[in-house]
Structure 1
Amino acid sequence: MPFRFAPWIAAALATAAVSACATLQPVQTAEKMIGSPQSSVRDTFGAPTETYQLADGKTRWIYSKQPLGYEVYAADFDAAGRLAGFRQMLTEQEIYQARPGLWTKHDVAERFGMPREPIQYYPLMKREAWSYRMYVSGYQPAHFSAYFDDRGMLDRTMIIVDAIGGDSRDHSK
């Protein structure tokens, strides 16, 4: 008699495979889901860390891997609640769209999520700083910081490359 998987084992393996793809390749997984309802996105990626109602009638779900991870993903849904886009937000391309003097804390949060690193205040500059871990130029660890004035307006952004690299490999060999 040939060996057969019980139906629940096959279902568990399929769920594990989808979950692994969503964890290892979230953007590629989500691109295949464009047009899917919010419930399918939640089933695949879990509950978002934040949600925002955007000005154009869309809804954005933020999936933050901060403070120890280097990614913040945004799942954008159209007015009907269907997935319209999914992308990694902590890229140089996304950061360069920030508009000092025009954006507020809310605009930065909608784009990158709330910071998971402690918020810093620099009294001599009179600036509050939000910091996010990211990669630049491939896999070079860096920090992206957004500085706000006392009115809550974005004053400047800065990307600082982590010269040490943040990994524990021995590069002397």
Structure 2
Amino acid sequence: MPIPFSVRAARVALLAALAAVVLAGCATLQPVQTAQSMLGSPQSAVRETFGNPTETYQLADGTQRWIYSKQPYGYEVYAADFDAAGKLTGFRQTLTEKEIYEARPGVWTKRDIAERFGLPREPVQYFTLMKREAWSYRMYMAGNLPAHFSAYFDDAGVLDRTMIIMDSRGGDRSRSK
């Protein structure tokens, strides 16, 4: 006995919805891998896949960066880079030791840190005796060890130093969900 058209259409619609959920899950669980397959795609495709960015920056070289921050409870900040034509050229997790070690004390400013790691979602602290403002981010070090990355700025807004401190309380990766 043939399946009625309405039941068949409902099955097709259900399968299409399931495929959309699976694809969205891939983008959530493996954002870097998902975005790497999208290189060359327009901004609209990136927005459809990852949603609205938490911040956007027009960079000095004419390119644009979108920040996707999972802070303050998550441990990741992703940067999506677009060329002048609005095509995706790169997507990476920026809260890594490699990225942090590229910061240049005495040269970088608050704007440079924000463009790389996004604005802090933890409360900004000011240390009166040091005369330094501190921005803090949660991150994972090698081996999935929870830590905090802090950037310290002088009163002129110039980066003075960076610091990575292990989280002595440990961490639970499930908090980032």
Place the TM-score, normalised by the shorter chain, in its bin: over 0.9
Find the partner of 1:82 among 71, 81, 87. Answer: 87
Give secondary structure in 2 for the equivalent of 1:63.
Answer: strand
Distance 2:116 2:46 in 1: 19
Cα deviation, residue 137, structure 1? 1.2
The runs of at least 4 consecutive aligned structure 1 residues that moved more than 3 Å come to 1-5
Cα deviation, residue 163, structure 1? 2.5
Distance 2:166 2:58 in 1: 32
Larger Rg: 2
Give secondary structure in 2 for the equivalent of 1:16.
Answer: helix
Aligned residue identity for 1:133: R
Partner of 1:36: 41
Distance 1:135 1:156 in 2: 19
Q: TM-score, normalised by structure 2?
A: 0.91
Cα deviation, residue 5, structure 1? 5.5
Partner of 1:8: 13
Find the partner of 1:152 among 157, 162, 173. Answer: 157
Aligned length: 168
Q: Which runs of 5+ in 2 are unaligned?
A: none
- Identity within the alignment, %: 73
What RMSD over aligned residues (CA atoms) do the two structures have, in Å?
1.4
1:107-131 deviation per Cα after TM superposition (whole angstroms, max 9, x unaligned): 0000000000000000010000000
Q: Which runs of 5+ in 1 are unaligned?
A: 169-173
Partner of 2:130: 125
Q: 1:34 to 1:130 in 2, by over 3 A?
A: same
Q: TM-score, normalised by structure 1?
A: 0.93
1:139-164 deviation per Cα after TM superposition (whole angstroms, max 9, x unaligned): 00000000000000000000001133
Aligned residue identity for 2:39: I
Partner of 2:98: 93
Give secondary structure in 2 for the equivalent of 1:98.
Answer: coil
Cα deviation, residue 166, structure 1? 2.1
More displaced stretch, 134-143 vs 2-11: 2-11
Partner of 1:49: 54
Partner of 1:171: none
Find the partner of 1:59 among 58, 64, 73. Answer: 64
Give secondary structure in 1 for the equivalent of 2:164.
Answer: strand
Cα deviation, residue 134, structure 1? 0.1
Distance 2:82 2:16 in 1: 28
Cα deviation, residue 56, structure 1? 1.1
